[in-house]
Every structure is written in structure tokens, then in C-alpha cells.
Amino acid sequence: MREFATVFQALDETTKTSRKVDALAKYFETADDADRLWTIALFSGRRPKRAVTTTQLRTWAAETAGIDLWLFEECYPIVGDLAETIGLILPVNSQHSDKGLTHWIDALVSLKDADETAKKDFVLNAWHTLGGTERFLFNKLITGGFRVGVSQKLMTRALAHATGKDEAELAHRLMGNWTPRSTDFHTLIEADDPESALSRPYPFYLAHGLDGPSDDLGAVEDWHAEWKWDGIRGQVILRGGTHFVWSRGEELMTDRFPEFMRLLDYLPAGTVLDGEILGWKDAQPLPFADLQKRIGRKTTPAKLLRDTPVILYAYDLLEWEGEDIRNRPFLERRALLDTTLRDVPSDAPIKLSPQIKANTWEDFAQTRAEARAHHAEGLMLKRSDSLYLAGRKKGDWWKWKLDPLTIDAVMIYAQSGHGRRATLFTDYTFAVWQNNDLIPFTKAYSGLTDAEFRQITTWVRKNTLQRFGPVRQVPPEHVFEIAFEGIQRSTRHKSGVALRFPRMLRWRQDKAAQDANSLDDLKEILRLYG
């Protein structure tokens, strides 16, 4: 655990990418295979499931520190991180453990079926055995909140430096449905593994946001345009007589979309398609809210399959008859995709995302303005000769989204943030008018500057009307312009609507509370764009 704590400290103490890569590479060169494997898992989001509740941890920490639980609960929202709060209130312990990272994670995993007494004994012993950064990391692991300011891409680069493996190959190997319980370091990183490769997707190529086309993009005819669909970006893999469905977030979602199994009847083995999974009914996309009902399900009941059928709106072909074709130009891959889907029946759960043509950038701008009528978010622009790269690369793929929808709303509640924002009130609840009443309809916590957050925090502390745990009711005085990407009906909210990706566009200090929008205004937006 000491070696892992050392590299964690090195990563935490610098913002320079080169130093982070060097520190991680040195760790990968010297750590044993089991610890290296768990480090890769942690840095790629494969954390062990929480075996102890946060209520138990807070209670035991308060008892160990010799303080009342209420005092711990007062400290927690100020610090903003449970693991750090526990570390700060526990008695100082300068001990170090000779046991490695894998030992502690295996012990945490084994707690799953233990009774509360055994769990408490283990946790208290760990707190007495570990000190400093090691104890802090143990707290992060047991609370299920282990995160560090290192991306998977940066971790992969460090691993490439340490092992001599190609970075792109490693990125591909780290995709897929693996855990440290299902593989080992040699199998994952070094050995040929045909069975694992069967289900493994390719790293997704991600586009940068574009404010608007400029002369820098060059001639219009050098670009391929299509709608930016509002669904789930995914890869559908047809290999070995079966199919796999992966989300962009590297989540295996095969069981949630069983209808894609039909594609095996029409497409050859060794086919990997990149596209957008959309709810689809009556020859048009369904609202994202309908598709969302299937995202959180491990299996899909028959009624949901009938109510929310899906298709893959395919826009790229990554593998054809077992050959990786990502290094072919986009137009060549697209032409092959077009030919491949030409004879697929119209009732199959796949369609070719249509190309949008224009003679000038102004024509594209006019088409983009019609995106919501097509149930889209804007345009995707892809350079015709672009290869399919890994990650977010600037220059060849752009997403040109519509301007967000907006509404002016009144802040009525405030709550402190987390992490570095734990001492500031940054999370707000907003309301709109219905006659003389304010009806809450959304929450937002991003979009303002640090200076604005500090200014509002000072005002909240001076003007709190009531406290409800960490939430403070404030006078309805401040108006904010709320931006959002979509709106849908909701029976769960008093307002009857729910927003998609709400955030604060700006603080409207030029407006009084009575100038905010009404619930009728929200419902009119719902009528037009819902």
C-alpha cells in the first residue's frame, strides 16, 4: 500500500502531464503484477463495490475520534468528501502497512457477506494499522469514491512507457468486460487472448465542439455532414456467432438491447458498427426520456421492448469481415457501410444515418437550425479523408450543436458543493412563477465563475431563511438564465416537466424576481420541443 500511496501523492502534487506520466510509469515498472492490475482497474473506473454503508462509516469514525455524531455530520458538508472527513477526525497514526494494494482490496471485497461486527472490526483495525495517505486511500476505496486527477488515456500512456507496448494497442486491450477477478496482468497486457478479444470494442473517436464553421475548416466539399442524434453512442459487435453492445462509457449493454441479435442474420461475422442507439417508433426517433427507461435495466421486459423499440443509426464501420479498417479514410468506410446495409430489410433494427449535403457553410447553418424538427441536437462534421482515431482529437471531427433552450428562473434553495467547492454554496434549486407562487422545476450547479459563486455564498450565509440539513432556503431575489438541451413531461416533478442537462448560463442581476418566466412558458417550450 505504501508504493501505491507514494505514486498517488506524486500525482496529486503536480498538474504537469509529463510528471504524472513519469510517476505512473515508474510505479508500473516496479510494482508487482497484482497491484499493477488493480491500479489499472481503479484508473479505468473499475472500483470494487462498496461493502460498508456510509452511515456505518460515519458512526464508527465518530466513535473512534471520540466526538458526537452530530459534530461529524456538521464537518462532513464543510470538507465535502467523506474519506477526507474521516481521515481528518481520526487520531493521528504514523504507521505503515507492509501489505500491498491487492491485499486491502481483496479484504474489502470479502466483506460483502460479513456481518456488521466483522465489518466494524476490520475497518477499525485498518484505521489503526494504516496512517497518512495510506489510510486516506483506504477510506476512498471503502467508500467507493476512489477518483484521482488522471485520465485513463494518461494512465494508458504511462503503461505504454513502462511495458514498451503500443499505446493504441493498450487502449484496445483495456476496453471490454474485464475485472481483476476475471484476468491477470499477463493475460490483459501481454498475452494473446482470443476469447477476450471477441467482445472487445474499439476506443471511441470523439468530436470537439464547434461554435460555427470558419475558413479554417476549408472547402465544404471536403466534409461529410449528418445529424447529431440525441441517443446513446454505441458500438454493436458481431463476432463468433453472437453480438455485443457497448456504450461510449465502456459499459456492456447487450442484455438491454436484445433486438440487435437480429443483425447476425443480415451482416457477416467480424462486423463492428459505430452509431447512435435511438428509441424508434412510427419511422421517427422517440424522446430520449423514453430510451432512458431502458438504460438502467439489466434485462428488458417484453412490454418495454414493445413500447420503446430501438434501432442503431449507423454512421461508421470499424471492422469488416474480421479486419480492422479504422485506418481507411472515412469516405471509404462510409461507402462500405452503405453497401453493407443496402440489402438489409427495412424492419431490421438498423439504418444508415443520412448524409446532409450543402453547397456553402451558410447552407449548413440553415440546415442546422432545423435540427430539433428532426429530433436531433445539431450537426456532426467529419473530414472526408479522416481516419478513425482513439479519444478526442481536434481537427477532423466536430459537433456543431444547436444553441441551448433557455428560461429565466428564481433561486429558492442553495446547498454547498463537494471537493474544492465544499466551502461554497454552488448547488441551487430554481423555480418559475405560477400565478403568485414559485414552483420548483430544476437544480443546477455549473456555469458560473468562482468569483460569482463566492459572491452568492456570502449572500446565502447572510440571508438564510431556513435550514433543512445541508440545504438552505433563501429569499426569492436572484434570477438566473438556465440553459438546457431538452425538455420532457415528468410525473415525478411538481412542475410536470424535467430538463436535460440544466446549467446556469448567466446570473441575471439586471432582472428582478418578478421578471422570471412562468410555468406556462416552460410548458410552451415543452409543446414546441418536447
pLDDT beyond 90 at 418: no
- The pTM of the full predicted model, rounded to 2 decimals, is 0.65
Residue 455 has pLDDT above 90, yes or no: yes
CA distance 486 to 230: 10
Q: Which three cell numbers stand for residue 91?
A: 487520531
Residue type, 221: E
Q: How far is C-alpha 17 from the geometric centre of its chain's CA atoms?
A: 22
d(CA 328, CA 210): 25
Check if the beta carbon of residue 203 is closer than 8 Å to that of residue 151: no
When pLDDT is averaged across residues 100-110 and rounded to a whole number, the result is: 87
Fold of 405-529: OB fold (Dihydrolipoamide Acetyltransferase, E2P) (2.40.50)
- % of residues, the chain, pLDDT over 70: 95
Mean pLDDT, range 78-106, rounded to an integer: 82
Residue 299 clears pLDDT 80, i.e. is over it: no
130 pLDDT tier (thresholds 50, 70, 90)? confident
Highest mean pLDDT among 101-115, 376-390, 481-495: 376-390
Coil/strand/helix, residue 35: helix
pLDDT band for position 198 (50/70/90)?
confident
Residue 149: pLDDT over 80: no
Q: Inform me whether the pLDDT recorded for 148 exceeds 70.
A: no
Q: Where in the chain is the domain with CATH 1.10.3260.10?
A: 2-142
Judge whether residue 100 has pLDDT over 80: yes
Residue 44's contacts (CB-CB under 8 Å, 6 or more residues apart) are 152, 155, 174, 250
Residue 196, pLDDT > 70, answer no
Class of domain 2-142 as given by CATH: mainly alpha
Residue 177, number of CB atoms within 10 A of its CB:
15
Which CATH homologous superfamily contains domain 205-401? DNA ligase/mRNA capping enzyme (3.30.470.30)
Q: What is the pLDDT of residue 168?
A: 66
More confident site: 435 or 15: 435
Check whether 400 has a pLDDT greater than 90: yes
pLDDT of residue 486 exceeding 90, the answer is: no
List, by residue range, all CATH 2.40.50.140 domains of the chain.
405-529
pLDDT at 442 exceeding the cut of 90 = yes
Please determine, for residue 293, whether its predicted confidence score (pLDDT) is greater than 90: no
Average pLDDT over every residue of 18-33: 90
Query: Could you tell me where in the chain the CATH 3.30.470.30 domains are found?
Result: 205-401
Burial label, 211 (beta-carbon count in 10 A; 0-12, 13-18, 19+) = exposed
pLDDT in tens, 463-476: 999 988 788 999 99
Sorting pLDDT into bands at 50, 70 and 90, what band is 394?
confident
| The pLDDT of residue 99 is above 90 | no
Mean pLDDT of 444-456: 92
pLDDT at 132: 81
pLDDT confidence of 327, banded at 50, 70, 90?
very high
Q: What average pLDDT does the segment 338-353 reach?
A: 94
Confidence of residue 145 (pLDDT cuts 50, 70, 90): low
For residue 131, the model assigns a pLDDT of 79
Amino acid 444: pLDDT: 94
pLDDT recorded at residue 484 = 92
Residue 466, all three cell numbers: 431556513
| HSE toward the beta carbon, residue 473, CA cutoff 13 A | 6
Mean residue pLDDT across the chain: 88
Please report the pLDDT score of residue 413 as a whole number: 96
Task: Return d(Cα 28, Cα 397) in angstroms, integer.
Answer: 33
Q: Which long-range contacts (C-beta less than 8 Å, at least 24 apart) are formed by 303-311?
A: 305/258, 305/259, 308/279, 308/281, 309/259, 309/279, 309/280, 309/281, 309/349, 310/257, 310/259, 310/277, 310/278, 310/279, 310/280, 310/349, 311/277, 311/278, 311/280, 311/349, 311/350, 311/351
Please identify which residue in the block is written with the cell numbers 422545476.
Answer: 441
